[in-house]
Amino acid sequence: MTLDEMRAIALGFPGAEEGTSYGQPAFLVNKKFFTRLRKEDQSLVLLEVGFDEREMLMEAEPATFHFTAHYKDYPAVLARMESLHPGSFQAFLERRWRKVAPRKAVKDWDAAKAS
């Protein structure tokens, strides 16, 4: 996935706003952390990923998924942007978006998808 693809997917969610974190692209929804790009390894921080799921992802796709000691105790995984499939990125972000977006935005999103 390219930086432009990543940015388009992240900003495709209602209420998503771009900013920076550690000099790299970062995104917020409803003033809450959505995702960011890590300068150290060009990985995306994906939240709402349980520990069992994280282990499974790292085992299935070790070239893409990993974590650092900082994220050890958080339900999160890091994904190398260049090998992360855009559809997978969108699915991970939707999970996070549903947690941080206003309830009305989620309801409207679901209604639009059902149409």
CATH number at residue 53: 3.90.1150
Domain count, the chain: 1
Give a yes or no: residue 113 inside a domain: no
Calpha distance 97→30 (Å, rounded): 9
Q: Is the pLDDT of residue 24 over 90?
A: no
- C-beta separation of 81 from 10 below 8 A: no
Calpha distance 66→46 (Å, rounded): 11
Give a yes or no: residue 111 inside a domain: no
Q: Is the pLDDT of residue 22 over 90?
A: no
Give a yes or no: residue 109 inside a domain: no
Q: Is the pLDDT of residue 61 over 90?
A: yes
Give a yes or no: residue 99 inside a domain: yes
Give a yes or no: residue 110 inside a domain: no
Q: Write out the residue range of the structural domain in which residue 83 sits.
A: 3-103
User: What is the mean pLDDT of the segment spanning 14-25?
Assistant: 91
Amino acid letter, 92: F
DSSP 96: H
Query: By C-alpha distance, which of 45, 34, 100, 32 is closest to 77?
Result: 45
Give a yes or no: residue 70 inside a domain: yes
